Structure 1
């Protein structure tokens, strides 16, 4: 799964693995990469944004805003 996601998000394998390490860490870089690929219609990126949007934090709100503007 990590390899597939890293291809879609245009992040290095190492960077993406760090993101999904012990604690899921969302960064502005990750959100922007997901936004870019989601805008091109990539369903995997859209699904990841939905999962991030479930969080009750700053990045959850940003992911929700990205999804709002995509749809």
Structure 2
């Protein structure tokens, strides 16, 4: 059974960690990347450079572990 990492304080804490890590990263901070947490995945969306997209995915993997990631980012 898959765990639901989007509910309650755990979901809010995960989202806050991801948003702050992405916002303060020197590669990602020039792009606007939205983070949404669902019961099934972490969703990243926004218009970004290829480098920022790759770095944002790396950050999510480091923080959320094996959570599925839906990449809806548009590369500039």
Indicate whether the TM-score tops 0.5: no
User: Which has the larger helix fraction?
Assistant: 1
- Larger relative contact order (CA 8 Å, sep ≥ 6): 2
TM-score (normalizing by structure 2) = 0.32
User: Which has the larger strand fraction?
Assistant: 2
